[in-house]
Amino acid sequence: MDLNLTSKTVFIAASSRGLGKASALELAKEGANVMLSGRNEEELKLAKEELQQVAAGQVEYVVCDITKPEQLKAAVLRTVDLFGTIDILINNAGGPPAGTFEKFTDEDWTRAFELTLLSYVRLIREVLPYMKNSRAGRIINLTSSSVKQPIPGLLISNTFRLGVMGMAKTLSIELAPYNILVHTVAPGRIATDRVRTLDEIKANQTGVPIEQVEADSRKTIPLGRYGKPEEFGKVVAFLASEASSYMTGSTVLVDGGMIKSM
């Protein structure tokens, strides 16, 4: 299937590693021009080198802290200066800290809001004029399976990820007249550093080996394993492509069947 992504320009937030990088890799393979972003320049350089080995399009990066609005604005302008426009936005952010209600202060909630929800709002605001001008675009918001089933011990993430999904669904209606399609992609247990860290936290809290924590998690997944980052990235690439031209407002789970809700 030709996804018709050749020469499309993609801006991907928090893409030096994890699911952002996995999404960037699949889009680069399909011929898109990919702008990586993140706070760590060394990690971005390594990610760019890795993607360039398989990319059919151009790969560049910009150092950007997504909690800083002026840096987001500069990153978008840099992308447009290089490639002329932005056709696809992949919103992504590192997860808020784990913990239960009584652990968190107002400052914890504010920092998580700016990272996990407001950064998405700000990036959409910056790219929207270019997409409306071309009367086409894709906005894909990476969240978590917690939008369908809360994850114990991830109170803040459970709260703000749902906000992202609600915004995406509403925007899909508002932006449909411009042929701008909006989706939420919700990963389950994908083998990333973030999931490894959460498993380590649970192992320390329960006093069992991390191998046992992982084995117990696999038992909750009908496919019996953690997902591969590239499996997640392929779903993102599909939603970013012309192959999904009659889809908008969807929340797509990539979870091996773990979430049991309808």
* pLDDT digits 0-9 by tens, 55-97: 999 999 999 999 999 999 999 999 999 999 999 999 999 889 9
Domains of the chain: 9-189+228-254 (3.40.50.720)
pLDDT at 259: 97
pLDDT at 95: 87
pLDDT at 108: 97
Q: Which amino acid does the sequence have at 120? A: Y
pLDDT at 198: 87
Decide if pLDDT at 2 tops 90.
no
pLDDT at 142: 98
Which is higher by pLDDT, 104 or 94? 104
Band (138; pLDDT cuts 50, 70, 90): very high
Instruction: Quote the percentage of the chain above a pLDDT of 90.
Output: 95
pLDDT at 3: 95
* pLDDT digits 0-9 by tens, 163-182: 999 999 999 999 999 999 99
Band (194; pLDDT cuts 50, 70, 90): confident
Decide if pLDDT at 154 tops 90.
yes
Considering the chain, what is the average pLDDT of its residues? 96
Summarize the confidence of residues 12-23 as an average pLDDT.
97
pLDDT at 1: 80
